[in-house]
A and B are shown apart, each in its own frame.
Chain A
Amino acid sequence: NAGVMQNPRHLVRRRGQEARLRCSPMKGHSHVYWYRQLPEEGLKFMVYLQKENIIDESGMPKERFSAEFPKEGPSILRIQQVVRGDSAAYFCASSPRAKQGGNTEAFFGQGTRLTVV
């Protein structure tokens, strides 16, 4: 059973370009989360999705960032018109349907390291 797969592992974009980060959850997992880790800072929750639905996007910047988890295929985190401040490690996590509130572990991918030049 493969773990959470993220690609690409490293992504370089020029200012103003678009970045598309992909995440394939573990088999059987229907919940996907995105987190961002800025250089020398902690991990910050961005968004939580289920298939075809955004459930909690309270951590997403209001502009330029969007996320989707279609019925088929991986979850995508899209950053439009990237700026240098978007340079960070972006981690995806997945979990199965919760047995009971708070009683489920999350499994993380190895992350995509975005560098904006």
Chain B
Amino acid sequence: DAKTTQPNSMESNEEEPVHLPCNHSTISGTDYIHWYRQLPSQGPEYVIHGLTSNVNNRMASLAIAEDRKSSTLILHRATLRDAAVYYCILLTGGYNKLIFGAGTRLAVHP
């Protein structure tokens, strides 16, 4: 499975935008870039995914570099509820065998 690299932790202030980076220099042409997050004491939660083009949904935006070797998850206005561990995962094949790394622990300050 292709590997991703994320910072261990990041901090943000409430209502400010947050940019969470992910490097995946060995990504293959068929790998989708997925983001999940895990709030304290809860199960993981799907955030967003994409292949080549930037993606937007109600939770976040995903910006994918032109060479696909990196991507950025964008939370447009952080709230206290966004404090979680965010995982960037590459996924290919026909099913959701998610390989979780250490992720980025996001702290949001009031």
Residues on A facing B (Cβ under 8 Å): 4, 31, 33, 35, 42-45, 48, 55-56, 91, 93, 95, 98, 101-111
**Total of A-B residue pairs, C-beta within 8 Å:** 73
Contact B95 A105 (CB under 8 A): no
Residues on B facing A (Cβ under 8 Å): 30-32, 34, 38, 42-46, 49, 51, 91-103
Contact A98 B95 (CB under 8 A): yes
**Which of the residues B38, B44, B93, B101 comes within 8 Å of A102, measured between beta carbons?**
B93
Contact A106 B96 (CB under 8 A): yes
**Chain A: CB-nearest residue to B48:** A105
Contact A101 B93 (CB under 8 A): yes
Contact A109 B43 (CB under 8 A): yes
- The smallest beta-carbon distance between A23 and chain B, in angstroms, is 11
